[in-house]
Amino acid sequence: MSTPYSPRKGTALGQVRGLGSAKEGAHHWWMQRVTAFGNLFLILWLVISLLRLPGLDYDTVRSWVQSPLVAVPLILIVVNTFSHFRMGLQVVIEDYQHDEARIIALAILHIWTFGAGGLALFSILKIAFTGTPTI
Partner 1 sequence: VRRRERDQSLDARKPTTPTVGVIGFVWWLTALATGRESYDWFMNWATWWPFWIVPIGLSLAFFQHMSTGVRHFVLDVGAGYELRTNKRGAVVTMVVAVTLTLAMWGYIAWRTFA
Residues that bind partner 1 (CB under 8 A): 1, 11-12, 33, 36-37, 39-40, 43-44, 47, 51, 56-58, 61-62, 65, 74, 77, 82, 85, 88-89, 91-92, 95-96, 98, 113, 116, 119-120, 122-124, 126-127
Q: Which long-range contacts (CB under 8 A, 24 or more apart) does 79-83 make?
A: 79/117, 80/35, 80/38, 80/39, 80/42, 81/35, 81/39, 81/42, 81/43, 82/113, 82/116, 82/117, 82/120, 83/31, 83/35
Which residue lies nearer to partner 1 by CB, 12 or 69? 12
Shortest CB 103 distance to partner 1, Å: 16
Which residue lies nearer to partner 1 by CB, 79 or 120? 120
Which residue lies nearer to partner 1 by CB, 36 or 76? 36
- Between CA 109 and CA 88 the distance in angstroms is 11
